[in-house]
Amino acid sequence: MKEHQNAASAHQGMNIIFFLGPPGSGKGTQARLLTKVCGASLLGMGDLLRQEVQEKTALGQKIKPVLEEGALPSWKHFVREVFEKQLDALKSSWVIFDGVPRTEEQMMDVESMIASRKARILSVFFLEVPDEILIHRLVGRYQCASCGASYMRNIEESDFQDVPCANCGSQKFSQRPDDQEEVIRKRLRLYNETMGPLVTHYQKKGLLKKVDGILPISEIQALIFNDLKEKSASFPSIS
Ligand SMILES: [Zn+2]
C-alpha cells in the first residue's frame, strides 16, 4: 500500500475510523488512546454536543434539555451542520468518529460527506458490552472537567476525586447529568434499537470489527492497533 501524501486537496486520502458501541462501552477511551498513537483527530459527537451546551450557543440551548432526558438531538435539524463544519476544519490524515453515526439517517449522511471528500472509512470498531455491566460502569463514571477524560469510581471509594487527571493534571471533575440509572436505561434501549441496522450494514461491507468490550483496555487497544496496521501501511508502528 502506498503512503498517503500530504494532500493539497484537504480530505483526499483521509483515513476515517468509526467507533460504535453503547454509552459506557469504552469507545471514547479507545478513541483517545488512538489519537495519541497515530496523531488522529477526534470528532466525538458527545464532546461536540456538550461543548455547544457549555458554550451556550444557539444549538447548545436547543439540545440541552434533550440530552438531559437521555434522548438524541435532531441530526437533520441542527447537529448535521455543526458536524460537517468540524470535519472540514480537520487537517490530519487520520480521523476518528466517536459516537457518529448513531442512526441510519446519520450513516447515509456521513457516508456521503466522506465520499464527496474522497476520504475513506478504514475500519468500524464495535465495542460489545452487556447492558448490566454498562449500567454498573456508567453509574460510577465521572469526567475531568477540563479535558473530558473519563474515569471510574470504585463503589467503595468515597474520595474518588482526590487524584488529579492522568491526562492533563486537572483536579476538577464532574459527573454528567445523563449518567443516572433511569436515564442510562433509556439511553441503552434507544441505542440498541438504532444500532442494529448499522452493524449489519458495516458487516456486509466487510468493515466491521467486533471487539469484546469487557477485555482490559490494553488488550482492546492491541486488537484495534493490529486491525489498523493490517489495513494500512501508513499506520505507525508501536514500540
Ligand atoms: Zn484532564
Interatomic CA distance for residues 157 and 20, integer angstroms: 30
Whole-number Å distance, alpha carbon 16 to ligand 1 midpoint, is 25
Contact 143, 151 (CB under 8 A): yes
Overall average pLDDT of the 132-155 stretch: 81
Three-state DSSP at 31 gives helix
Whole-number Å distance, alpha carbon 171 to ligand 1 midpoint, is 8
Which residues are found with C-beta within 5 Å of the ion, ligand 1? 144, 147, 149, 165, 167-168, 170
Q: What is the pLDDT of residues 71-98, one digit of tens each?
A: 778 888 778 988 998 899 888 889 999 8
Whole-number Å distance, alpha carbon 80 to ligand 1 midpoint, is 28
Whole-number Å distance, alpha carbon 33 to ligand 1 midpoint, is 14
CB-based burial label for 16 (10 Å; 0-12, 13-18, 19+):
buried
- Cell 478504514 belongs to 122
Q: What is the pLDDT of residues 15-64, one digit of tens each?
A: 999 999 998 899 988 998 999 888 899 998 888 888 889 999 888 898 89
Whole-number Å distance, alpha carbon 47 to ligand 1 midpoint, is 13
Whole-number Å distance, alpha carbon 142 to ligand 1 midpoint, is 11
Helix, strand, coil abundance in the chain, percent, nearest 5: 45, 15, 40
pLDDT for residue 94: 92
Whole-number Å distance, alpha carbon 78 to ligand 1 midpoint, is 29
Whole-number Å distance, alpha carbon 125 to ligand 1 midpoint, is 25
The H or E element containing residue 55 is none
Question: Could you tell me the pTM of the whole model?
Answer: 0.77
Angle at 38 between CA 33 and CA 42, to 5 degrees: 60
> Which runs of E-coded beta strand occur in the chain?
15-20, 41-44, 94-98, 120-128, 141-144, 150-152, 173-174, 208-212
Q: What is the pLDDT of residues 191-220, one digit of tens each?
A: 888 899 999 999 999 999 999 999 999 999
pLDDT for residue 156: 43
Contact 50, 174 (CB under 8 A): no
Q: What band does 144 get if pLDDT is binned at 50, 70 and 90?
A: confident
Whole-number Å distance, alpha carbon 75 to ligand 1 midpoint, is 29
Using the predicted structure, report yes or no on whether residue 1 has a pLDDT greater than 80.
Answer: no
- Cell 490494553 belongs to 218
Whole-number Å distance, alpha carbon 151 to ligand 1 midpoint, is 10
pLDDT for residue 174: 84
Whole-number Å distance, alpha carbon 10 to ligand 1 midpoint, is 30
* Terminal CA-CA length for the chain: 21
Q: Which CATH architecture has domain 15-130+188-231?
A: 3-Layer(aba) Sandwich (3.40)
Query: Would you list the domain boundaries of the chain?
Result: 15-130+188-231
Whole-number Å distance, alpha carbon 146 to ligand 1 midpoint, is 5
Whole-number Å distance, alpha carbon 24 to ligand 1 midpoint, is 18
Mean pLDDT of the chain: 85
pLDDT for residue 6: 41
Whole-number Å distance, alpha carbon 27 to ligand 1 midpoint, is 17
Whole-number Å distance, alpha carbon 145 to ligand 1 midpoint, is 7
pLDDT for residue 9: 57
- For the chain, give me the number of helices (H) and strands (E)? 8, 8
Helices (H), 121-180: 131-139
Contact 16, 122 (CB under 8 A): yes
Contact 60, 73 (CB under 8 A): no
Overall average pLDDT of the 169-195 stretch: 84
